[in-house]
Amino acid sequence: MNRIRFTKASLDALANDSSAPRVVYYDHKARGLCVMVAARTKTFYVLRKHQGKTERILIGRYPDTTIEQTRSIANWMPGRIGMM
């Protein structure tokens, strides 16, 4: 599992150089918050449990959505997953 500190510098430095179509990084601060890095985009999601299944809820794309906005949404989101 890739857990990093979400900062502007760290997110700007992320690139998908692997053979996988997407790579997921989890924030060390906000529970359930992750960023999915694809070839051309970086997208924030919140993971939560709903009826026993894990759901990925779209928050927005980086840099249009700021790190502070995503953390406040992740902290507000009911039923978010704990430390994964």
At 79, the pLDDT band (50, 70, 90 cuts) reads: low
At 81, the pLDDT band (50, 70, 90 cuts) reads: low
Q: With beta carbons less than 8 A apart as the criterion, state whether 36 and 24 touch.
A: yes
For 12, the token pair is 């700007």
pTM of the model: 0.86
**Residue, of 38 and 1, whose pLDDT is higher:** 38
Q: With beta carbons less than 8 A apart as the criterion, state whether 46 and 74 touch.
A: yes
Q: Residue ranges of the domains in the chain? A: 2-76
CATH architecture of 2-76: 2-Layer Sandwich (3.30)
Strands 42-50 and 23-27: unpaired
Collect all residues with Cβ–Cβ distance below 8 Å to 31 and sequence separation of at least 6.
74, 80, 81, 82, 83
Q: How far apart are CA 33 and CA 10, in angstroms?
A: 15
For 47, the token pair is 């993971």
pLDDT tens sequence across 31-77 = 899 999 998 999 999 998 888 898 999 999 999 999 999 999 988 87
